[in-house]
Amino acid sequence: MASALYPGTFDPVHRGHLDVVERAARIFDHVVVAVLENPDKRPVFSVDEREGFLRAALSDISNVTVTRFGGLTVACAKEHGTSVILRGLRAVLDFDYEVQLAMMNRHLEPTVETFFMLTKSRYAYLSSSLVKQMAKFDAPVEEFVTPPVAEALRRLAVPKA
């Protein structure tokens, strides 16, 4: 049975991430979406919130589960009995970093392979940082995120002087 682990910070999840999970769920028997606690990145949303947004968005897909992790991605993959790490790629922007991560993960655990899934062109410029910045300045984000995330993002808006 082929399963995949899709790890990320998801601060917050957006439609580019969801599209990767939806497509992966049609290819793999099971997809585990794993939210990295990652205090180094100082996430705006708590791990509970980030996990909650993902659970709500993905509850209709029966072969997807959502979890969290705090250590090495390869350790999380082993724990879930999968030998595939799935990552999304936007433009060249992601490439160097993703190759570096994949190489290091292969060094740490040669039995785990990293699979890359290309974003849909309409999400190529979408990132969690960008939706947070847009929300901060009250730009509409509904097109890019689910309603609960849009609602939570509205709380980030800088009050108008």
Token pair of 121 as six digits: 């062109």
Q: Does residue number 69 form part of the binding site for ligand ADP (CB under 6 A)?
A: no
Asked whether the beta carbons of 141 and 134 are under 8 A apart, the reply is yes
- Give the helix/strand (H/E) hosting 21: helix 15-27
List CB contacts of 46: < 8 A, sequence separation 6 or more.
Answer: none
Q: Does residue number 128 form part of the binding site for ligand ADP (CB under 6 A)?
A: yes
Please pick, among 41, 122, 136, 154, the residue that the annotation labels catalytic: 41
Q: Does residue number 94 form part of the binding site for ligand ADP (CB under 6 A)?
A: yes
Q: Does residue number 83 form part of the binding site for ligand ADP (CB under 6 A)?
A: no
β-pair partners for 64? 31
Please pick, among 23, 90, 106, 127, the residue that the annotation labels catalytic: 90
Question: Which of 20, 74, 131, 152 contacts ligand ADP by CB under 6 A?
Answer: 20
Residues noted as catalytic: 17, 41, 90, 128
